[in-house]
């Protein structure tokens, strides 16, 4: 007889490049599993956002910003409040996105945020399934995560998704420019010295190029549930 796992909380690490659909998939997966979402990408974007507002220019400047920010879950456990505020689309502008990629290369910033991510993830997972989404979750932040996924998609598909997202917000930008920005960010993320973007050896690769969001979330949720029942 198969024995079901009795532990309520566990950790799911979701990594992948920009525009692959990680944020939406992670949010819906956390909802499907009645868990919590920790968007680590939003943490780096927050450092970039507040750092730029404060005129930060050096690694030390951004590290000070990283240590000064507070992070907590929203009431629905699907969003991250930064200094008590849901910044929403303010963190998704092209300017903040590019700055976040640059900021994420700073070791002092990564060290500060990694410690915070581990603390929050461990605390929340005592009671709930916790979905962590980012670039180095399964390789650096939580290499011992219960489940690991690497979400990716064709570069042109990723650019088109981002184009449609920005178009809804009224942001005017060419598709070709988004593709170029994504390529630059992929290069920065995968070649940075500290915690580069890469697929964990034991991660399940999910190519979303030809999959709808609902299909992706179902696949991942089914994978987690099937393995929970075998433990």
Write phi, then psi, for 173 (nearest 5 degrees).
Answer: -160, 145
CATH number for 10-215 (one of 3.40.50.300, 1.10.357.10, 1.20.58.390, 3.30.70.1560): it is 3.40.50.300
Write phi, then psi, for 78 (nearest 5 degrees).
Answer: -110, -10
Closest C-alpha among 14, 59, 19 to residue 39: 14
Q: Look at residue 207 and give its three-state secondary structure.
A: strand
Write phi, then psi, for 202 (nearest 5 degrees).
Answer: -105, 20
Under DSSP, the state recorded for 82 is E
Q: What is the pLDDT of residues 184-217, one digit of tens each?
A: 888 888 888 888 899 999 999 999 999 999 999 9
Q: What is the pLDDT of residues 24-41, one digit of tens each?
A: 999 999 999 999 999 998
Q: How far apart are CA 158 and CA 184, in angstroms?
A: 13
Closest C-alpha among 32, 10, 13 to residue 150: 13
Q: In this structure, are residues 147 and 223 in contact, taking their beta carbons and an 8 Å threshold?
A: yes
Which residues are paired to 147 by β-bridges?
12
Per-residue pLDDT of the chain in tens (231 residues, 90 and over written 9): 334 444 579 999 999 998 898 989 999 999 999 999 999 989 999 999 999 999 999 999 999 999 999 999 888 887 889 999 999 889 988 899 889 988 999 999 999 999 999 999 999 999 999 999 999 999 999 999 999 999 999 999 999 988 998 888 888 899 999 999 889 888 888 888 888 899 999 999 999 999 999 999 999 999 999 998 755
For the chain, the domains span 10-215
Total-model pTM: 0.86
């Amino acid at each position: 007889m198969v024995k079901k796992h009795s532990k309520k909380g566990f950790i799911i690490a979701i990594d992948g490049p920009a525009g692959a659909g990680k944020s939406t998939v992670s949010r819906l997966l956390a909802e499907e599993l009645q868990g919590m979402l920790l968007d680590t990408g939003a943490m780096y974007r927050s450092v970039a956002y507040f750092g730029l507002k404060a005129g930060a220019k050096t690694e030390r400047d951004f590290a000070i910003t990283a240590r000064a920010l507070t992070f907590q879950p929203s009431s629905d456990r699907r969003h991250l409040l930064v200094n008590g505020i849901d910044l929403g689309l303010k963190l998704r502008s092209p300017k903040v996105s590019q700055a976040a990629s640059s900021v994420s290369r700073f070791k002092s910033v990564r060290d500060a945020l990694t410690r915070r991510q581990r603390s929050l993830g461990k605390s929340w997972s005592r009671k709930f399934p916790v979905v962590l989404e980012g670039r180095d979750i399964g390789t650096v932040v939580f290499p011992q995560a219960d489940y690991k996924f690497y979400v990716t998609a064709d570069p042109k598909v990723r650019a088109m998704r981002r184009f449609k997202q920005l178009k809804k917000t009224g942001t005017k930008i060419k598709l070709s420019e988004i593709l170029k920005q994504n390529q630059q960010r992929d290069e920065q993320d995968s070649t940075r010295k500290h915690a580069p973007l890469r697929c964990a050896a034991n991660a399940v690769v999910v190519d979303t190029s030809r999959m709808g969001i609902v299909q992706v979330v179902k696949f991942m949720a089914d994978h987690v549930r099937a393995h929970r029942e075998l433990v």
